[in-house]
Amino acid sequence: MRGDGITILCVDDEETPRIVRALMLRSRGYNVIAAASAAEALKALEHGAIDLILSDQMMPAMSGTELTKLVKATYPRIPVILISGMNEVPADALDADAFIPKLGGPELLFTTIREVLILYRLME
C-alpha cells in the first residue's frame, strides 16, 4: 500500500529529525505537513485534511501524550502514532494508537503507519 492521497501531520521540536522523517514519509508517497510543536500541530489540524498524526513524545511545553489527549477529544477519527527516544514508556502511552521507539528503524515506522491506517479504514 502506497501512501497516495494520505496526509500525515509530522510533529517534532527538533528540526533535523523532523525534516528527515518528513522526507522518509514523502519517499513512501505520503503528503506531509510538518509542525515544530504541539501548538503548531493543533493549529494545522484546524485547517483539516489530516489523515494521521505522527508525533515525537518528548517535546517542551506539551508532550506527545498530552497532544494525543487533546486530539482524541476533538478529532476522534484521526489516528495518532507517538515515536519516542526515551527508554521509559509513559503511563498514558496507550491513549495513542501506537507508541514506537525511534530505534525501531524505518521499517517499523512504515509498518506501524500502515497497520494503524488499515485499522482505521476497517473501522469506518
Partner 1 sequence: MSEREQANILMVDDQPGKLMSYEAILKDLGENLIQARSASEALDCLLHNDVAVVLMDVSMPEMDGFELADMIRHHPRFQKLAIIFISAVHLTDLDRIKAYQSGAVDYISVPVVPELLRAKVSVFAELHRKNRQLERLNRELEDRVAERTEQLRQSEDQLRERADLLELATEAIFVRDMDGILLYWNSGAETLYGWHRQEVLGKPIHVILKTRFPVEFDEVQGVLARTGKWNGTLVQFTRDGQEVTVACRKALKAGGSAILEINRDITAQLKAEDALRKTERLAAMGRVAGIIAHEINNPLEAITNTFYLLRDNPSLDTEARYLAQLGEQELLRVAHITRQTLGFYRESQSPVDVAIPDLLDEILELQSRRIEFGNVVLEKRYRSRGTIRGFPVELKQVFLNLLGNAVQAMPEGGKLRLHVFESTSLGHRRPDVRIRICDTGVGIEAEHAKHLFEPFFTTKSAKGTGLGLWISRGIIQKYGGSIRFRSASFKGMKMTCFQVTLPDVDVPASLETTPAAPGATALAGVSNAG
Q: Which residues bind partner 1 (CB under 8 A)?
A: 14, 16-17, 20-21, 23-24, 27, 58, 83, 85-89, 93-94, 98-106, 108, 111-112, 115
Instruction: Report the residue number, 58 or 70, with the smaller CB distance to partner 1.
Output: 58
Instruction: Report the residue number, 66 or 115, with the smaller CB distance to partner 1.
Output: 115
Q: Which three cell numbers stand for residue 107?
A: 521499517
Q: How far is the CB of 98 from partner 1 (least distance, A)?
A: 5
Instruction: Report the residue number, 40 or 115, with the smaller CB distance to partner 1.
Output: 115
C-alpha to C-alpha distance for 39 and 66, rounded to whole angstroms: 11
Q: How far is the CB of 58 from partner 1 (least distance, A)?
A: 6
Q: In what order do the strands lie in the sheet with 7-11?
A: 31-35, 7-11, 52-56, 80-84, 98-101
- 49 CB neighbour count, 10 Å cutoff: 10
84 contacts 64 by C-beta, under 8 angstroms: yes
